[in-house]
Each structure stands twice: as C-alpha cells, then as structure tokens.
Amino acid sequence: MTLAPAKVACASGPRIVQERGQREVFCGLTGIVWLHRKIQDAFFLVVGSRTCAHLIQSAAGVMIFAEPRFATAIIEERDLAGLADIDDELDRVVTRLIERRPDIKLLFLVGSCPSEVIKLDLSRAAQRLSQRMSPAVRVLSYSGSGIETTFTQGEDACLSALVAQAPRAGANQPPSLLVVGALADAVEDQFRRIFAQMGIERVDFLPARRAADMPAIGPNTKFLLAQPFLSDTARALEELGAQHLPALYPLGVEGVDDWLGAAARAFGVSRERFEAATAAPRARAQKSLERLRPTLEGKSLFFFPDSQLEPSMARFLSRELGARLVEVGAPYVDRRRLAEELALLPPETPIVEGQDVERQLDRVRAARPDLVVCGLGLANPLEAEGFATKWSIELVFTPVQGYEQAGDLAELFARPLLRRELLEA
Ligand code: SF4
C-alpha cells in the first residue's frame, strides 16, 4: 500500500484515435433509471415523444413501482403557433403531478430530441414552475437528448443542474469532502465508514439521497469524482471554487486505494490511520480477485464505446486480473479527468474515442477476442456470431465501486467466459 500520488498521463501513454460514424449508444435519458432510485424524493418528467417513453419504460421496466418516480409528457407534433399551448400544457401536467404526489420535493424536466421539444425553453419553464411551487418543490431542467448526450452523460447533465442551484459555502467554512457521482446506497455507506475511520469528518455526496440535503459548495470543498463521465459537473464545481482531487476511479483494489489515498493526502490523514481504515476491506477484495484471476488471465477483451467507464475497467482488468486489451472504445475521453487511468494502461492499447460502428465490427471480427463488452443492441448479433459478450449497461446498474464490490466487478466479466467454457465442455 502506498499513499504516493498516481502517475499522470505522459507522452508515452496510449494513443487516442478518434472515430466518427454511425453510433450505437443509448441517449442520456437512460440515467433516469439509476438517478431516480438515488434521489428518493425527486421525480423525472421527460418532455419527449413516444420513443422516449418506450426507452425509459423498457430500460426501467424490470422494476415494479407502486408509485414510479419518472414519467414522460408526450409532446405531439405541432406548429410554432402551438408552442405557447405547450407551455400551458406543461404547467398543467406539472401542477396535477405535484397535487397528486406531495412527496415530490425536486422535479427535473428532462429534455429530449424531438424538434418540438428542442424549440421549448425548458430552463425558463423550470424557473417559472420553481417560483410558483417554491419552497415546497424545486424544479430544475437538463437535457437527456440523444443529439447532445450519450448514455451516462445524462447523469452529468443532471448533476450540473444541481450544482448550478446548490447552496454556496463561504471561504470561512471548514474544509469538506464531496464525493460526486451517483453511487448505490450500500457503497456510499461503506465509503462513509472508511472516511470516518480515517478521521475525515465533513463528507457529503452529490447527489444526496434527499433534495433538502444537497451539499453547499465553496472554495473549501475538495471533491472526488466517483464516476469518470462527470466532466461538466466537475467544471461547474471548479467554477464555484471547489478543488478536484485527481485520482484513479474507485474500481478494483488499486483504484480504491488511489481514490481514498487522494482524500487522505488532501485531509492530512497519517499513513497509519489510512492503513488501519483500509487494510481489512483491501485484504477481502484481494482475496475475492484471486479466485477470479484464473478465469480472466490472458483473455482478450474488446470494449465498444458506451458508458465512458471503459478506460477504468480496462485498467482494472489488465492490471489486477491479467486480461489482454484488444481495443478500448469510449464515447468521449476526457484527457484531464482520465489522466491517471490512461497512464496506467499498457502503452500499446488502442484507445478509440467516438464510434464508427461498422469499422469497429470489422475489427472485432478480425480480432476474435474472448470477450466483447458492448451495448445491448450489439450484444445479441455478436452472440449469434459466436462471441461471448458483456452488456456494458450492467456496469452502470450494478454496484461496482469500492473494495467490497471489487470481486463482483471481476465476476461481471468472468461470468460470460465461464458460461462459454461450460457450453464448450
Ligand atoms: Fe430517442 Fe432522442 Fe428520446 Fe433518446 S431522447 S429516446 S434518442 S428520441
């Protein structure tokens, strides 16, 4: 174990190739599926089309809710003259919703692609509704449109909207740690315990579980990103004076060590105290990885771009489990927020930013990797061609951050390989 800072990306790190073409990635509306579970008194109202409603329902449809916390206000096609009516309609829908559901304290109006929605000024609508419903309900807006966002960028847009409205902390406030990115409650609780054992007293999470608990932000806020896809949110926090603590992302033992280590250094935690807080869960994580290493060691992996988690997953799988990286695709590579991750990837790893799906399919067919990590739309056809696949959406829906989850994370990749071995036996 070391508290030394992680390496930063250097000129000899992997080369990033950009590709443009047809994409096979979900839009940012998908984020609602995990965000509505995290913020327990929020409601997400998608302003969109029937397609948007179908996407949300099928992505979240496996769960049955007595009172769901998301819905779609379907805007049918109409001409410009009808736009004023849409504003009235939206106000009516929101008023009815809030009357029926007094448990809602934070309402997100979520924009989408249809041209009728693009013409609407949702941020003005949110301001108007917020003024009318304050203080009982706060109304914010963001875009989950497939034109502007891919898959995980919906969370970035949602958290940026929260930061823009967050209470401000003055320069006289004591230093506090902010963990940014939606984490499963169990993972959040584990991190809280470890930070408390390290002696870091003031720790907040964004998003908070309840609307009223959103943290105040100011120059004495130091923040850790729990997810690599939060570039806009990080920028918005920095504009308020908060300081980013650069680190690996908390995936796998090495990632969690470095991530917690960055907080320990920033808050003056002694090496002994850090070790006392982390030794036991680290040992458990290492043990769980040992069990899975034989399944993944030497196996070739190909990542299609989907969640932006790809470089971090690739680092974990190659360094802690001995997997071979054939190609690591990502919809967007933020060189600054991923510097530590990129520096630890084998230098020969091809990193492809963006997507030209046909060319990628040609490359995957030529390479015949042992495992392909890809979106739902590609998984079935690739399975039919004889590839073992892992749905990248599972990496976002499953709690994978932290020591206690390191084994579960490795297992997500090991399972399809084990299944294939059984089928071939
Ligand atoms: Fe489709 Fe756009 Fe709606 Fe997403 S926001 S479901 S891409 S129409």
Residue 361 C-alpha to ligand 1 middle, in angstroms?
Answer: 24
Following DSSP, what letter does each residue of 244-283 receive, concatenated?
Answer: E-----S-HHHHHHHHHHHHHHHTT--HHHHHHHHHHHHH
d(CA 423, CA 425): 6
Asked if 198 and 254 sit in the same domain, the reply is: yes
Residue 65 is part of a domain; what is its CATH number? 3.40.50.1980
Q: Which residue has the tokens 């506090």?
A: 176
- Same structural domain for residues 271 and 392? no
Q: Using alpha carbons, select from 325, 296, 328, 315 the residue that is nearest to residue 392.
A: 328
Domain boundary among 206, 241, 276: 276
Answer yes or no: is 93 within a domain.
yes
Q: Are residues 270 and 309 in the same domain?
A: no
Which atom of ligand 1 has the smallest separation from the CA of 28? 4
Statement to judge: residues 272 and 292 lie in one domain: no
What residues contact 210, with CB distance under 8 A and at least 6 apart?
39, 40, 41, 105
Structural domain includes residue 162: no
Instruction: State the closest ligand 1 atom to the C-alpha of 144, by its place in the atom list counted from 1.
Output: 5
Domain range enclosing 136: 28-149
Atom of ligand 1 nearest to the CA of 56: 6
Nearest to 311 by CA among 249, 389, 364, 399: 249
| Whether residues 320 and 397 fall in one domain | yes
When divided into structural domains, the chain yields a total of 3
Q: How does pLDDT run along the chain (425 residues), one tens digit per residue?
A: 333 333 333 445 678 999 998 887 789 999 998 999 899 999 999 999 889 988 888 777 655 555 678 888 887 666 555 666 778 888 999 999 999 999 999 999 999 998 878 888 899 999 999 999 999 999 999 999 988 888 899 999 999 999 999 999 999 999 999 999 999 999 999 999 999 999 999 999 999 999 999 999 999 999 999 999 999 999 999 999 999 999 999 999 999 999 999 999 999 999 999 999 999 999 999 999 999 999 999 999 999 999 999 999 999 999 999 999 999 999 999 999 999 999 999 999 999 999 899 999 999 999 999 999 998 889 999 999 999 999 988 888 899 999 999 999 999 999 999 988 777 76
Query: What separation in Å is there between the alpha carbon of 113 and the centre of ligand 1?
Result: 6
Query: Is 194 in the same domain as 143?
Result: no
User: Residue with the nearest Cα to atom 6 of ligand 1?
Assistant: 52
Name which of 305, 317, 325, 296 is nearest 392 in CA terms.
305
- What the block records as the tokens of 278 is 């982390």
Q: Is residue 35 part of a domain?
A: yes
**End position of a domain, from candidates 221, 253, 276:** 276
What pLDDT shows up at residue 68?
Answer: 79
| 166 within a domain of the structure (yes/no) | no
Q: Which residues contact 313 (CB under 8 A, 6 or more apart)?
A: 251, 303, 373, 395
The answer on 360 and 241 residing in a single domain is: no
How many residues does the structure list for the chain? 425
367: in domain: yes
Pocket residues: Cβ below 6 A from ligand 1: 27, 29, 48-49, 51-52, 55, 112-114, 144-146
Q: Does 203 lie in the same domain as 255?
A: yes
- 188 and 264 in a single domain? The answer is yes
* Pocket residue to mutate for ligand 1, from 118, 145, 149, most atoms within 8 A of Cβ: 145
Q: What is the CA radius of gyration of the chain?
A: 22
- The two beta strands, 138-143 and 70-74, are unpaired
Q: Assess if residue 119 is contained within a domain.
A: yes
Which residue, 219, 252, 276, sits at the end of a domain? 276
Determine the Cα–Cα distance for residues 299 and 302; give it in Å rounded to an integer.
10
Residue 113 alpha carbon, nearest atom of ligand 1: 2
Q: Does residue 8 fall inside a structural domain? A: no
Residue in this structure with the two tokens 């941020």, named with its chain if needed: 123
In a domain, 350, yes or no: yes
Q: Are residues 77 and 109 in the same domain?
A: yes
Residues 43 and 92 in one domain: yes
Specify the pTM: 0.92
Q: What is the DSSP letter of 166?
A: S
Sheet strands side by side (includes 138-143)? 70-74, 42-48, 106-111, 138-143
Decide: helix, strand or coil at residue 202.
coil
Regarding whether 343 and 390 lie in a shared domain, the answer is: yes
